[in-house]
Chains A and B, each alone.
Chain A
Amino acid sequence: MRTTTIHAWMTQVAESVKDRRDYLTQLDAAIGDGDHGVNMDRGFEAVGKALAAQNGAVPPGKLLTLAGKTLVSTVGGASGPLWGTAFRRAGRTLGDAEEFDGQDLLAALRAALDGVVELGAAQPGDKTMVDALGPAIDALAASLDAGEPLEVALAAATAAAEDGARATVPLQARKGRASYLGERSIGHQDPGATSAALIMAALQLAVERES
């Protein structure tokens, strides 16, 4: 994987988020204030523009860092700092390398999750993006450790993220705006976990298309 992979990933995220904007808004209206779809759409559209302005010589790690900074500047809310930190940490982990493999990606995603947890202090089961990202990373690690090819590992990660997002439905929110609703947050899928699953699916798609 290389710089073009990151470009493809971010382009795919922007498309997915725009496509599912109303759905994310709906999820957020149920247990929040209905702005998640709009915010993520605005952020990833800006990421697309920022990345398009870069020439091809920028290493993948730097592109991810740029994506992170752009998200902080444009998304607002909690999602901006959280996803901003995630991509910045991932970018920092990849360093200046021009290519990266499955294990490098895993390390980058682990750093991303660590950043999110440090900033937001969410634990598994709090009904947040962590409930999709955590399982995705575990599945990616298990698959790579079992010697499976990257595409298979990413498919497993996406499936785990999507399962994780669905698994937030019966949880009571302990973080973010949904936590104000207490028990009323039960029975609704978390928008942050849902967009996290979209982001993992976009990564899988981007890598598949490149090979």
Chain B
Amino acid sequence: MATVATPMKKLLNDPAEVVKESLAGLAAAHRDLVRYDAEAQILVRAAPADKVGLVSGGGSGHEPMHGGFVGVGMLDAACPGEVFTSPVPEQMLAATKAVDAGKGVVHIVKNYTGDVMNFKLAAEDAEDEGIQVESVLIDDDVAVQDSLYTAGRRGVGATVLAEKIAGAVAERGGDLAAVAGLARRVNEKARSYGVALSSCTPPAAGSPIFDLPDGEMEVGIGIHGEPGRERRPLGSAGEIAELMIEAVVSDLAPAGGAAVLPFVNGMGGTPQLELYLLYGEIERRLRERGLRPERRLVGSYITSLEMAGAALTLLELDDELTELWDAPVHTPALRWGA
């Protein structure tokens, strides 16, 4: 796919140092919550706690995920790789050891080949060192057929919800099985679908990953700037809302009248003005289908650099999930009750 050769315009110094410099800046901005270990290349909660540890990680370029979710009531450590590249086992092992309080550590792993492989190697290393690790796989994206013939469904928006909910369980002293169990429940009860209005430009690449002409959108997207399942003419917000809801509801099949949490996520390049507009369209249509939005999240939480677009993650709630969602959280990106 040909790309237009316009010089990229970003706020950076040397493109090769983007991740390190950004992490240092994040830690400086939130020094009460997070510290950056530049040697190990990990972000760790500033005030360690005696609890089950919760670790996640993945390529950079999705901020605030995961570093922005380190703090109280969510992640204890995050491992950032290069942009769109999964981190390496050493980082994950360092993070695991940093948060291990003797009660075990949960790894939240998004279902991408690289993430899965590297986390697996790290979990083995951690087990070798006597740390009990439970790995939870997140694979909520419905755009990809979960079949023998693909790498499986991508882990996208449900990751944020799982980190919050599992984080609440860990913060209040839940054991390893409970923390992992709630994270898995979120994955089972959430489905996602996204649409892009533009591609994005990784700093090392220097130009957009693909060209998306005016009047067209990509549907069934991931979070790495890759093309989606299909290209279609650009729809209105109402049409996009309908497309997203149909995709997730037909797969999730929530109980009639179920309480739900719609999470409308911006891909990074879409303004709040549009995200809230889309949210309104989505909530109205959910109610029309007899579903009850009892909690919600709207904003750019799992992004793809500056990609314009949005994704819907729909979580079917139960009393326990709702209560855990409401539990206090204090991280750079999410804060309530603390």
Contact = CB atoms under 8 A, between A and B. Distances in A.
Interface of A: 25, 29-35, 38-39, 42, 72-82, 119-120, 172, 174-177, 179-182, 184
A179 B149 contact: yes
A30 B151 CA distance: 17
Main secondary structure of the interface of A (DSSP, over half): helix
Nearest to A179: B150
A77 B121 contact: no
B188 interface: no
B225 A34 contact: yes
B57 to A, nearest CB: 11
Contact of B151 (A25, A79, A177): A177
11 contacts: A29-B205, A33-B224, A33-B225, A33-B226, A38-B85, A39-B82, A73-B88, A76-B87, A76-B118, A81-B117, A177-B224
A42 B89 CA distance: 16
B205 A34 contact: yes
A180 to B, nearest CB: 5
Contacts of A72: 88-89, 121
A78 B3 contact: no
Main secondary structure of the interface of B (DSSP, over half): loop
A184 B143 CA distance: 14
Given A81-B118, A182-B229, A33 B202 contact: yes
Contacts of B204: 25, 35, 38
Contact of A77 (B1, B3, B85): B85
Given A72-B121, A77-B114, A177 B150 contact: no
Given A73-B90, A180-B150, 17 more contacts: A32-B226, A35-B82, A35-B83, A35-B204, A38-B82, A73-B89, A75-B88, A76-B81, A76-B88, A77-B114, A78-B112, A175-B113, A177-B151, A179-B144, A179-B151, A180-B151, A180-B226
Interface string B186-198: 0000000000000
**Top 5 A-B pairs, shortest CB-CB distance:** A33-B224, A77-B114, A179-B150, A81-B117, A78-B113
A49 B145 CA distance: 42
Contact of B117 (A25, A119, A177): A119
Contact of A81 (B121, B150, B222): B121
A101 B59 CA distance: 41
